[in-house]
Chain A
Amino acid sequence: MAKRIRVLVAKPGLDGHDRGAKVVALALRDAGFEVIYTGLHQTVEQIVEAAIQEDVDAIGLSILSGAHLPIAKKLMAQLRANQMEEALVLIGGNIPARDVEPLQALGVAGVFPTGSSFDSIAAFIRERVAAKEPAG
């Protein structure tokens, strides 16, 4: 059996609306992923540290306050500083369409605004993680 994909679901910053984060975490777990949920009020540094500690394949951030661009910028810089630029980063939450491209330009692999289906998130992670595995 293939190794289960490990996903860190994180709530960065001060925003405490965690319904989306928890629901996605539960749905991914039900879909066979190994899910680690950070809980609220995490700094970007704490999230990167958790990603290293837990040796995750993907990091999913849930942001509803509107501060997704500054947070993503900080996260990507921290990942680079820790030689983790290969980590698959997903952002979900209250993300307007016009911010999708800027987020991708920062290196965010997938943007899943409110209402995205669990299946589409799970399929995206599976596909992209598989693509990163060395062939053989």
Chain B
Amino acid sequence: MSEKIREVILESGIPVKPVYGPEDIARPDGIGAPGEFPFTRGIHPLMYRARPWTMRQYAGFGAPSETNERFKFLIANGQNALNVAFDLPTQMGLDSDDPLAEGEVGRVGMAVDTLADMETAFDGIPIDKISVSLTINAVAAPIMAMYFVVAEKHGVPLADVRGTSQNDILKEYIGRGAWIFPVTHGIRLVTDTLEFCARHAPKYYPVSVCGYHLRESGANPVQEIAYAYCIARAYIQETLKRGLQVDDFAERLSFNFDIFGNLWEQVAKFRAARRLWARLLRDEFGAQKPGTLQMKMIAGGGGGGLTIEQPENNIVRGAYYALISALSGAQTMALCSYDEAYTIPTEKAALISLRTMQILVEEMGLCDTVDPLGGSYYVEWLTNEMETRILAEMQRVDAEMGGIVRAVSEGAVQSEVAHQALKFERGLQDGSIPKVGVNKYRAEEDERDVALHEYKPERAEESIRRTQQIKVSRDAPAVTAALDRVREVAANGQNIMPAMMDAVRAYATLGEMTKVLKSVFGEFEEPVRL
């Protein structure tokens, strides 16, 4: 028979056979049991049977009071954790009244200038029970300091405070672009928070390493994990220099990964990633604590997979991404809402995402059995294949780009990712990468009927007024003294966090703290290279 079969090559470049069998998965060390090294099948023995994944939709916009209302809405509807979005001025360390912030205050997240804003955002929210994730990077240190002080005011001492900060600056230089300081200083701030939390806030996850944004910027699934692990490894190496042991802090590193594209490739990616992380931590860093060896992740998202065309299709895509996340053993899930390709989500869109996850938990049996795809010839073969390729890509970063820190400083990874994005976009445009509603089954759409989140400029005025009021009513000499101390510590290399918390308590603004850091660190000069 010479019947020609269709060729299948995954986004990561892996050719796929039509049928897999036992001969494809012979592997000397087997796949192991869930909850056991190397955790291919999941980090806990019972996984969702013991407790479903945490649901943590990304939310935040306008003035802190508006965000506080959305938080309460999501919690009232069964969400058990929060994921805070900050507006671009906040992400870039600018106060709402800074001329550079004009038009952006409260637009894609909530505006935070001082501790007062964080107090308002979490007013009436039981942060001792609801774990809060802060999507903040370049200015993670001051924003974490604000959160810790808010927790203190809620009666939660540092030793008990829970939550996560994104705080992954290296990925900002590659994708997402919310960087401020030069690479070495960016890494220094991340290391300060890792050290500070290991010593004083041991239940807090100070860094969530984001393959997510690397993939959203163009990286394929293999590159997503490989670059994220190179980045995580860099943070570990730096933190070890502070006199900590790997088992003192690496347990509190978590990951944020992306889901869109081929279902099997994503599931295999995560299973391979867990195994690789366990081996990396044991073999390279000598980690022994199970918690350190367990790769913990938030996965879902999939913004890059959603389309402007036929937006309701994104509800369906979101449901599949959630399914993939559940089949992959994610600890936490957040979905991009169907209006993601347009703007930040409306209340309705956010609720559909939450209900999508709840339907999987309550109706579909996704929490009944651990790693239900485990043992599948195809999935196990693909897991092995992904692992081999991720490892090879990590070795390539070291051998050909001089390690991730140099690669980021010189723009080598950025260029790699941009070219991958170009390849993908060409595939979409020539139809070789099918996309329903875009290059297949495209329909002439009249006016698209999507109710969108409305940006309210008057709420920006509210943020500006409030900050100006605080600036005149606070104890000015105390602010100056606290900022001087931040400057001194930034320069002398001591851990920045205690000084930062004191500045926050004095109601120093984020913009003031960032300016002080800029005066010591300087600013990143982007290696613009196409």
Interface, chain A (partner B; CB < 8 A): 11, 13-19, 22-23, 25-27, 29, 35, 37-41, 43, 65-67, 70-71, 94, 96-97, 113-115, 117-119
Q: Across the interface, do A115 and B309 meet the contact criterion of CB distance under 8 Å?
A: yes
Taking the complex as formed, is B175 at the interface, i.e. its CB lies under 8 A from any CB of chain A?
Answer: yes
Chosen A-B contacts, 17 in total, with CB atoms closer than 8 Å, are A11-B177, A14-B91, A14-B101, A14-B104, A16-B172, A18-B175, A18-B217, A19-B216, A19-B218, A19-B421, A39-B526, A40-B177, A65-B108, A94-B341, A94-B342, A114-B341, A119-B429
B176 interfacial by beta-carbon distance below 8 Å: yes
Whether the pair B418, A19 counts as a contact (CB closer than 8 A) is yes
C-alpha gap A18/B307 in the complex (Å): 18
B528 CB–A CB distance under 8 Å: yes
Q: Do the beta carbons of A65 and B418 come within 8 Å of each other?
A: no
Q: What's the nearest-Cβ distance from chain A to residue B100, in Å? A: 7
Given the complex of chains A and B, what is the CA–CA distance between A66 and B102 in angstroms? 12
If A19-B217, A22-B418 touch, whether A14 touches B309 (CB-CB below 8 Å) is: no
CA distance A16 to B91 in the complex (A): 10
Interface residue ranges of B409-449 to A (CB < 8 Å) = 418-419, 421-422, 425-426, 429, 438, 447-448
Identify which of A13, A40, A96, A114 contacts B526 (C-beta below 8 A): A40
B341 to chain A, nearest CB (A): 7
Q: Which one of B178, B421, B526 contacts A23 once the chains associate, using CB atoms below 8 Å?
A: B421
Point out the residues of chain A lying under 8 angstroms from B343, CB to CB: 66, 94, 96
Other than the given A38-B528, A39-B526, 13 more pairs (CB < 8 A) read A13-B103, A14-B101, A16-B179, A18-B217, A19-B421, A22-B421, A26-B530, A27-B425, A35-B530, A40-B177, A65-B104, A65-B107, A96-B342
The binding surface of chain B is classed by DSSP as: loop
Check: B211 CB closer than 8 A to any chain A CB: no
- Contact between chains at B176 and A17 (CB < 8 Å): yes
Decide yes or no: A16 and B176 within 8 Å by CB, A65-B108, A66-B107 being known contacts.
Answer: yes
A78 to B102, CA, bound (A): 16
CA distance A97 to B311 in the complex (A): 14
CB contacts between A and B, total, < 8 Å: 95
* Residue numbers in A under 8 Å from B89 (CB-CB): 14
Inter-chain contacts of B102 with A (CB < 8 A): 70
By beta carbon, the residue of chain A nearest B88 is: A14
B452 within 8 A of A: yes
Q: Which of A14, A19, A27, A114 contacts B308 (CB 8 A)?
A: A114
- Confirm or deny: B455 has a beta carbon within 8 angstroms of a beta carbon on chain A: yes
Q: Do the beta carbons of A118 and B216 come within 8 Å of each other?
A: no
| B100:A26 contact, CB within 8 angstroms | no
Query: A114 vs B309: C-alpha distance in the bound complex, in angstroms?
Result: 10
Residues of A within 8 A of B418 (CB): 19, 22-23, 26
In the assembled complex, which residues on chain B have CB atoms less than 8 Å from the CB atom of A25?
530
* Chain B residues whose C-beta falls within 8 Å of the C-beta of A38 in the assembled complex: 528
Give the top 10 A-B pairs by smallest Cβ distance, nearest first: A16-B177, A70-B103, A14-B88, A39-B528, A22-B418, A39-B526, A67-B103, A40-B177, A26-B422, A16-B178
Q: Which residue on chain A has the smallest CB distance to residue B448?
A: A97
Say yes or no: B100 contacts A43, CB within 8 Å: yes
Question: Do B526 and A66 touch across chains, with their CB atoms under 8 A apart?
Answer: no
Interface-centre pick from A13, A16, A43, A97 (highest chain B CB count, 10 A): A16
Interface contact B422-A27, CB-CB below 8 Å: yes
Q: Which residues of the partner chain A approach B452 to less than 8 Å between Cβ atoms?
A: 96
Asked if A66 and B438 sit within 8 Å, CB to CB, the answer is no
Give the nearest-CB partner of B303 in chain A: A17
Q: How large is the interface on B (under 10, 10 to 19, 20 to 34, 35 or more residues)?
A: 35 or more
Q: Bound state CA distance, A97 and B309, in angstroms?
A: 12
* In the complex, chain A residues whose CB is within 8 Å of the CB of B81: none
Query: Is B92 an interface residue when CB atoms closer than 8 A count as contact?
Result: yes
In the docked arrangement, what's the CA distance between A39 and B528, Å? 6
Q: Name the distance in Å between A72's Cβ and chain B's nearest Cβ.
A: 11
Closest to A117 in B: B429
Smallest beta-carbon distance B280→chain A, Å = 28
Residues of B within 8 A of A94 (CB): 341-343
Which of A23, A40, A97, A113 is in CB contact (< 8 Å) with B447?
A97
Q: Closest approach, in angstroms, between the C-beta of B26 and any C-beta of chain A?
A: 40
Residues on A with C-beta less than 8 A from B108 are 65-66
Tell me the bound Cα distance from A65 to B92 in angstroms: 14
Cβ contacts under 8 Å, A65 to chain B:
88, 104, 107-108
Determine the distance from Cα of A5 to Cα of B216 in the docked complex, in whole angstroms.
30
Residue in A11, A15, A118 whose Cβ sees the most chain B Cβ within 10 Å: A15
Residues from chain A with a CB closer than 8 A to the CB of B526 are 39-40
Q: How far is the CA of A42 from the CA of B418 in the complex (A)?
A: 19
- Minimal beta-carbon separation of B508 from chain A (angstroms): 21
Nearest opposing residue in chain A for B438, CB measure:
A115
Contacts of B426 in A (CB 8 A): 27, 118
Tell me, in angstroms, the Cα distance from A15 to B526 when the chains sit together.
14
Expressed in whole angstroms, the minimum distance between the Cβ of B364 and any Cβ of chain A is 32
Q: Give the contacts of B82-103 with A (CB-CB under 8 A).
A: 88-89, 91-92, 94, 100-103
A26 contacts which chain B residues (CB < 8 A)? 418-419, 422, 530
Tell me which of A17, A37, A40, A113 contacts B530 (CB under 8 A): A37
